[in-house]
Structure 1
Amino acid sequence: MLDHFPFYLALIVLIVLLIMLGNKIKVAYPVLLVLAGLLVSFIPGIPILKIDPELIFIIFLPPLLYEAAWANSWKELWHWRRIIGSFAFIVVFLTAISVALVANAFIPGFSLALGFVLGGIVSPPDAVSASAILKFVKVPKRMSSILEGESLLNDASSLIIFRFAMIAVATGQFVWYKAAFTFGWMVLGGVAVGLLVGFIFLKAHKKLPTDVNTDTVLTLVTPYAMYMAAEAVHSSGVLAVVSGGLFLSYHRHTFLNGASRLRGENVWQSLVFLLNGLVFLLIGLDLPEIVSGLREEGVSITAATGYALLISFVLIIGRMLAAFGAVIVTRIASYFITVADRNPGFRGPLIMGWTGMRGVVSLAAALSIPVAFPQRNLVLFITFIVILVTLVLQGLTLPLLIKKVQPPAFNDHLPEEEAERQIREELAQHTLAYLDEHHREELTRNVSLQKLAAHWELQLAGKDGVIAAGNMRVIYLRVLERQRQLLLEKNKREQRLDEEVVRKFLHLIDLEEEKLRLK
């Protein structure tokens, strides 16, 4: 391990450089990292990175899933629950069936159960890849919310399929009623454990004498505690992390102060940045070892590549059919429920169908397969090619497709500039009313408080003011807390208000509090 330490440091530097390059040339960094890992793997003398398959899930998945849940909006998730649920569960299940049937029919030695193992691995699209690509193009908030929500839940559904298929291959049997009971426990038990552990950590943050450092450490421990607790009772660790993460994210302003939220956010961004980079680089670095394993088993690389391209084709076509199938279902549903759009058009489904890049979860699931498992190297090789094809083909062409077809303006959310202007005006009005109600006498004789009021009057006029400090610090902190509560209530009340804009203002309030406390 220590002998290769300089190599590991070099990989981290390479990740940073490639992500900077991706931002410069406006290419999603997962594409560059996969290709770079592939090129690096062919350099003579490069150490082979090996991770215990049993540790793959627990190292990478809990923090990545927890951060995704923390960043997700419960309001958006609930609003688009129907389409998110259909893509995250129904489409994933149908995709796994399609892959299983095709693999069983065309790949020699692939049983139906082994086909479901492969289907469970490659069925979930990758959130990181889609987010990295969409960063360079503008899409309606509806589409980004659906993609984020889908990616949060489809990992759980695909990994449940993967686990059942692994058991079926190992035991050679599948008893449907036992599987149904186990599935129910995995789902309900996973959600219950996640919420319970989340509640315990919420109380720990509130009751214990924590500071910024201990709060941050507790947030790092939380996803691992959720995952391991759920796995210990044979329920879904993935669902535990997702449900617990959503619960704590929703209550983040009740148990973390502004300083803990700000510094914890910085730590988490760096951690997830590094983990995502390592995973995508590992995808490329693993190929030579997988290829050598195939040769030892007597499997032709040409044939294996053909199988992988066939599975990639099934995944791409399957998602496109699912996206346009959702349009048909929506048209039918519009006659019975008012929330469905009767004329969704073709541009939205076309873009949604093309956002099927695979990545982190697929690789983690494939690498977690035990070494002695049947056809392990072929499953790994097919997974690698699927990730490579979807990332390069769809990842590089998605921005061009979006620019070409021009996504429709759904008008589900206020434009960002209008939302920000509305929030600034309402905060200024609310603050001036609060000062007039609670500090009217001081406003007439205290110069510092007059400056504070003048600051918000300038905000109401669309200009910047000077923040008053000194002996007005306590009053100003109260004002900021009232503003925070106003924003949280406004976010719950107004569906058309984008929660990302609200979070931006909440972040600014946290920064303002931190500046006051440091003075």
Structure 2
Amino acid sequence: MGAQTLAVLVGAVLMSALARHFKLSSPLLLVIAGLAVGLIPGMPTITLEPDVVLFVLLPPLLWSAGLESSYVDLRRNKRTIGMLAVGLPLVTTFAVGVVAYRLVPDLTLAAALTLGAIVAPPDAVSATAIGRRLGLPRRMMTLLGGESLLNDATALTAYKVALAATIGAATSWSSAASTFALAVVVGIIIGVVMGVLIVFVRTRLQDPLAETAIGLVAPFLIYLLGEELHGSGVLAVVSAALVVGQRATRAGYATRLQDDAVWRALQLLLESFAFLLIGLQLPRVVSELAGISATTLVVASVGVLATVILVRIVWVFLLSYLPRLSRREREDAPGPAQVFIVAWAGMRGVVSLAAAFAVPLTTLTGDELPGRPQLVFLTFVVVIGTLLLHGLTLPWLVRVLGVQRDDIHTDAVRAAAAQSRAAAAAAKRLDELLAKQRESGGLSEVQERAAEVLRRWNTSRGDAAWEQLGRDPDEIGESPAAAFRRLRLEMLAAERSALIKEREEERIDDEALRDLLHGLDLEEATLNRD
């Protein structure tokens, strides 16, 4: 089993790398590849273990998404995100539960509601991954990202309540509500406390390697702690990640560079593994359907999948336009095209499959759980159906409806103005330091030359954003800042080649070479920053 898992992991990373190289959608390519491999006769079955997904894959993916999220943007859109992340999963749970109860004779109402909770949350990575590739507007990405960060907590809590009723554990509406409230409050408190504690420890370490290591283990510990204390592990991880991400600007440059590189690589690894794993579950799902009517499965599949899609569309449109009928709603209504794209970006993912596979085979009395094979199969249909249907049509819809970022120029102007003010602050600080130096003993010729070089460099950086703003490079030619950057990059390449030659001729050792190259790498990273 270990060799099979390793093979899946290696294959997922290689396929994801190919997808990135050819500018394809890696989630869709990986899912389709998994389905194709699963259909090959004689291929060993790769089993998706629920605990692996919930305790190994989910926490770091949530943590990475939380670090990249903007607390300011989430707070600005808190009402809409709340209705998407809390209201929509609950409505979907009940709607799917009613439809499944009517269409699948073997499902009890509690089991049908369990299915509804399983398929309620859109995937935490698929929508945002595809949205980033399509260049969706910032507010749409904020809504999709904020929803995917929080909806797992809602759906998994509803899942626990419905599953308890399904297997025979006594529960009531009042206890369900209190369970949900407790999970939310405890999860947020644990997340905030742990986030503050992590920031406190990392700030005082001043050791980039140790700080990154702490960041790597933090999501697993926080998720486990949240679940053990009867809170929401999802909310605990997300809350802590938002706290740490908000304070990341105060960390050292080396920590930020290292964290960014590590988490980008880990995110690619885990996302690739998760999507390929989804497709590979086909043999296991089909093997459990022996003796079940094909007509019932087809009708139920169409009904449940259609319900999942239609409920989201109706909810998003109502959420977008109904509140604006009130005079207190001053915000301009979004265009129907943007609303539809948000409504259509409801791909389900590996968390739903993990929750379905985690449903026990028997009730507390030892009897076989009725309708479990249908429940797992319908979950698989919804996951694959939404991933392929939405994923394949979203790029086309974005082009046809013309939903593209219209705030790029505004963002560029703000960034250029911010860079100009930052350069002015740097110049002011340089003048203050030089003035103090003159008062204390005067400036040497070397210091004067250094100050002049710094002034030119600072001016070049301050002007760079304005020089390129809103104009194509072919139109304006090579700007002074671009010329400086091009020439300095060529100089760095020459320095790097010379240092490597020094090592090859054994005038310096490998450790010295790595230290020297690190300095060049940092400067090149500064010159090549986006």
Per the shorter chain, which TM-score range?
A: 0.7 to 0.9
Shift of 1:459: 2.7
Length-normalised TM-score, structure 2: 0.81
**Secondary structure of the structure 1 residue equivalent to 2:335:** coil
1:346 has 2:336 as partner = yes
RMSD, aligned CA? 2.6
* C-alpha contact (below 8 Å) 2:398/2:404 kept by paired residues: no
Query: CA 1:80/1:65 → structure 2, altered by over 3 Å: closer, same or farther?
Result: same
- Is the aligned partner of 1:239 residue 2:235? yes
> Which secondary structure state, in structure 2, belongs to the residue aligned with residue 439 of structure 1?
helix
Give the drift of 1:202: 2.2
Equivalent in the alignment of 2:42: 45
> The residue matched to 1:415 in structure 2 has which SS?
helix
Query: CA 1:192 to 1:441, structure 2 compared with 1: closer, same or farther past 3 Å?
Result: closer
Corresponding residue to 1:453 among 449, 452, 455: 455
1:258 aligns with 2:242: no
- Aligned match of 1:312 in 305, 314, 318? 305
Find the partner of 2:346 among 351, 356, 363.
Answer: 356
SS for the counterpart of 2:135 is: coil
After superposition, give the CA deviation of every residue in 1:288-313 in whole Å (9 maximum; x if it has no partner): 11111121xx2234532432222111
- The alpha-carbon distance between structure 1 residues 461 and 206, as it changes in their structure 2 partners (threshold 3 A), is closer
Q: Which amino acid aligns with 2:452?
A: Q
CA deviation digits over 1:192-244, x for unaligned, max 9?
A: 1111222222222234x462322122111111111111111111111111111
Q: Is the 8 A contact 2:353 2:379 kept in 1?
A: yes
- The partner residue of 1:402 within 374, 398, 404 is 398
Tell me if 1:109 matches 2:145: no
Gaps of 5+ in 2: 364-368, 465-479, 486-520
The aligned residue for residue 284 of structure 2 is: 289
Q: Deviations over 1:430-472 (max 9, x none)?
A: 2112212232365965211220111112233434358xxxxxx
Is 2:31–2:275's contact at 8 Å kept on the other side of the alignment? Answer: yes
Where structure 1 has 5 or more consecutive residues not aligned to the other structure, the ranges are 467-509
Shift of 1:408: 7.4
Deviation at 1:113, TM superposition (A): 1.3
- 1:70-149 → structure 2 map (5 Å cutoff): 70-149=67-146
Aligned to 2:490: none
**Hey, what does 1:303 align to over in structure 2?**
296
Structure 1 residues 329-478: aligned runs within 5 Å: 329-333=322-326, 335-338=327-330, 340-341=331-332, 343-372=333-362, 374=369, 375-407=371-403, 415-440=410-435, 445=445, 446=447, 447-462=449-464, 463-464=480-481
Residue identity in the other structure for 1:344: P
Computing the radius of gyration from Cα coordinates, the structure with the larger value is: 2
Q: Residues 31 and 180 (structure 1 numbering): CA distance in 2 closer, same or farther, change over 3 Å? A: same
Number of aligned residue pairs: give it.
464
Pairwise CA distance, 1:348: 1.4
**Partner SS, residue 257 of structure 2:** helix
Cα distance in 1, alignment partners of residues 358 and 325 from structure 2: 42
Instruction: Tell me, yes or no, if the aligned pair for 1:327 and 1:349 is still in contact at 8 Å.
Output: yes
CA–CA distance in structure 1, aligned partners of residues 393 and 525 of structure 2: 43
Aligned partner letter, 2:130: I
Distance 2:261 2:245 in 1: 16
Aligned to 2:41, what secondary structure does the other structure show?
coil
TM-score with structure 1 setting the length: 0.83
How far the C-alpha of 1:259 sits from its partner, in A, is 1.2
Which of residues 133, 137, 147 in structure 2 aligns to 1:150?
147
Deviations 1:265-324 (A, max 9, x none): 2222222212111111111111111111121xx223453243222211111111111121
The answer (yes or no) to whether the contact 1:66–1:242 under 8 Å persists in 2 is yes
Match of 1:198 in 2: 195
Residue 27 of structure 2 aligns with which residue? 30
Structure 1 Cα separation of the partners of residues 462 and 223 of structure 2: 47
CA distance in structure 2 between the aligned counterparts of 1:59 and 1:409, rounded to whole angstroms? 34
Distance 1:402 1:153 in 2: 25
Contact 1:57 1:368 in 2 (8 A): no
Which letter does structure 2 place at the counterpart of 1:19?
Answer: S
Which position in structure 1 is the counterpart of 2:265?
Answer: 270
Distance 1:92 1:289, change over 3 A: same
Distance in 2, matches of 1:368 and 1:396, equals 29
On the 8 A contact 1:194/1:240 being kept in 2, the answer is yes
**Secondary structure in 2 matching 1:135:** helix
Q: CA-to-partner distance for each residue in 1:412-444, whole Å, 9 max, x for gaps?
A: x76343233223222221211221223236596
Amino acid at match of 2:167: A
Contact (CA 8 Å) 2:158, 2:180: kept in 1 or not? no
Q: Distance in 2 between matches of 1:34 and 1:300?
A: 27
- Indicate the SS of the match to 2:289: helix
